[in-house]
Structure 1
Amino acid sequence: MIRPALWFKTLGLNPKRTLASLRGLPRYLKDREKFRSGCGSDFAWGNEFPVLDEWNVSSGGPGAYFQQDLLVAKWIYEAKPRRHVDVGSRIDGFVGNLAVFREVEVLDIRPQDTAVPNVSFRQLDITQELPQQWRACTDSLSCLHSIEHFGLGRYGDTIDPGGHLKGLRQLMAIVEPGGIFYLSTPIGPQRIEFNAHRVFAAATLLDWFKDGWQIERFAVIDDAARVVENPDRNPQSIAANFGCQLGVGIVAARKMF
């Protein structure tokens, strides 16, 4: 069942913002009149662009994506890999952070027509068999907040309930022995919220790296967007998903062979 609030969001409707804007209209009109009465001739009066609900909003909170992007970019900066490949992470977030200090090769099923300094792009479906040149090709790979989408069709990919596992196998094959794989995904009680994403149990995420990998760093971003680096991975905490309903788990794992 889709909750009414999600229907509003899906259809691009925001009743709370609409109500706040209606309440803000008198103030806007008053401010507009006051400004125009004191405005000189050095500016032409252009098309109006009313913003009616931002008088008391925050200057911007660092949400989970922001925290994740900064943290993993710092890890990669410290690691100084020879080559770095990214699969599916945000160009206007994490990849942009990396491109400030290094070259990044990006693979994504979606097209990218805008040239970005320090970023080279190739369109590729990571759930399909890898071309030979992408096998064991890099000492550093990232895939942040992407694997949960594989196979849900949200981005034009083929519907495949096992798409995340197919993608995971291909991702792991990209990393050369001794290389590091940076992976993040939503964690909480395991479920599918179709067609937005999957949410994986913390145990599922950690179990992916049981064989042939060594987890060198692990972090959780909890439901309040607080970063917890290297939390105790005891059975109780893992079973409780580190207290998350919809948090983020971030793994940096080294490929042993």
Structure 2
Amino acid sequence: MDNLTIVKNLKKITPTIIKNIIKNIHRSILYLFFSISFLKKRDIISDRRFSCIWKDRFPCLFDRTQTTEFEPHYIYHIAWAIREINKINPQQHIDFSSSLYFIVTLSASIPTIFYDYRPADIHISNLYCKKAELCNIPLPNNSVESLSCLHVLEHVGLERYGDPFAPQGDIQAINELKRILKQDGHLLVAVPMGEIPRIQYNAHRIYSYSLFLSYFRELKLEKFSFINDKKEFIEFATEEDTVGQAWGCGCFLFRK
């Protein structure tokens, strides 16, 4: 590597290094002030009701925000899916690898079977957790009335969760979901979506609206909702809402 290349690389990484140094100094100062405050207040905090000793300290130094922050993809797509499934009101719902918060909440009102490549050891009423691979679902053709796979397909085959490398893994999984869906049954799917389709290996794929929809030609699109880059939830969205977007979330309700 020549000197010019070294200088260029140093110029690239220097801002990041400086930013990290400042960040660590800031954290150290905050922790110092916390420690002083703890030592001054510990007797008052205990209030003779609780022990409050140094080894039990648990500093939370970055929670004093003006608003409560949230991840819009997961807050909105979970709320969207539960509302849509409650409208459908199936006798039973089957989900593949979606958020655990989603399936445990849904199971409070609808019996839910949850399949995952890495099964969850959850034991509550109305929820049944099992192991399955999305590319080889152990269910017969046309057997599922209500089905979901939320923020999952974009990961299949990219090895992130220990699954085998499969560049076409998402298409294989989609074909399996369509195969097991019963005639007149509903399928809810959510994926990252932007104007330009791309892969951020090995995290996920980001689909364009037209590309993703092309995989579901046999099904009827009943509803499309979208969470855009500004963290806005658009309940009744169109392809136009995805134009100019880098990493939104497309929520699709299909019917067979």
Residue ranges of structure 2 left out of the alignment (5+ in a row):
1-11
Change over 3 Å in CA distance of 1:58–1:175 after alignment to 2: same
Q: Secondary structure at the match of 1:42?
A: coil
Aligned sequence identity (%): 25
Q: d(CA) in 2 for partners of 1:17 and 1:68?
A: 33
Q: Which residue is 1:64 aligned to?
A: 73
Question: Equivalent residue for 2:200?
Answer: 193
SS in structure 2 at match of 1:126: coil
- How do 1:91-102 and structure 2 match up within 5 A? 91=100, 93-102=101-110
Q: Point out the more displaced range, 30-39 or 118-127.
A: 30-39
1:104 to 87, 109, 112: 112
Equivalent AA in structure 2 for residue 97 of structure 1: T
TM-fit CA distance, 1:231: 2.0
Judged with a 3 Å threshold, the aligned counterparts in structure 2 of structure 1 residues 101 and 19 are, in CA distance, closer, same or farther, namely farther
| Corresponding residue of 1:142 | 148
Gaps of 5+ in 1: 9-13
1:20–1:96: structure 2 CA closer, same or farther, 3 Å change rule? farther
Letter of the 1:178 partner, please give it. Answer: D
Partner of 1:204: 211
Measured against aligned partners, the alpha-carbon deviations of 1:14-63 in whole angstroms (never above 9, x if no partner) come to 87764442231243134213322434433222422222233346333352
Compared with structure 1, are the counterparts of its residues 16 and 59 closer, same or farther at alpha carbon in structure 2 (3 Å cutoff)? Answer: farther
Cα displacement string for residues 164-196 of structure 1 (whole angstroms, at most 9, x for unaligned residues): 111110011111010011011001121111111
CA contact (8 A) 1:220 1:242 kept: no
| Residues in 2 aligned to 1:141 and 1:15: alpha-carbon distance in whole angstroms | 48
**Alignment match, 2:183:** 177
- Asked whether the 8 Å contact 1:69–1:97 carries over to 2, the reply is no
Matched, 1:80 2:81: no
CA deviation vs aligned residue, 1:84-120 (integer Å, no higher than 9, x gap):
11011011x2112211211111111112223233211
Q: Summarize the Cα distance change of 1:75–1:16 in structure 2 as closer, same or farther, 3 Å threshold.
A: farther
Is the CA contact 2:90–2:110 (under 8 Å) kept in the aligned structure 1? no
Q: Which moved more, 1:143-152 or 1:74-83?
A: 74-83
The aligned amino acid for 2:226 is: V
- Residue aligning to 1:42: 49
Structure 2 match to 1:155: 161
CA RMSD in angstroms, aligned pairs only: 2.4
Aligned twin of 1:231 = 237
In structure 2, relative to structure 1, the CA distance for the partners of 1:186 and 1:33 (3 Å cut) is same
- Whether the aligned pair in 2 keeps the contact of 1:222 and 1:243 (CA below 8 Å) is no
Kindly provide the amino acid, as one letter, of the partner of residue 76 in structure 1: I
Query: How far, CA to CA, are the matches of 2:73 and 2:26 in structure 1?
Result: 26
Residue matched to 1:247: 248
Contact 2:91–2:111 (CA under 8 A) maintained in structure 1: no
Call closer, same or farther: CA 1:144–1:15 in 2, change over 3 Å.
Answer: farther
Report the TM-score when normalising by structure 2: 0.84
Which moved further from structure 2: 51-60 or 133-142? 51-60
* Greater radius of gyration (CA): 2
Q: Is the 8 A contact 2:110 2:126 kept in 1?
A: yes
Q: What do the CA deviations read for 1:174-229 (whole angstroms, capped 9, x no partner)?
A: 1101001101100112111111111111111222222x211111001001221112
Task: Tell whether the 8 Å contact from 2:224 to 2:238 is kept in structure 1 after alignment.
Answer: no
TM-score by length of 1: 0.83
| Closer/same/farther in 2, CA of residues 18 and 53 from structure 1, 3 Å limit | farther
- SS at 1:243's partner residue? coil
Residues 1:19 and 1:191: Cα distance change in structure 2 (over 3 Å): farther
Question: Does 2:70 align with 1:54?
Answer: no
Give 3-state SS (helix, strand or coil) of 2:173's partner: helix
Q: Distance in 2 between matches of 1:31 and 1:60?
A: 26
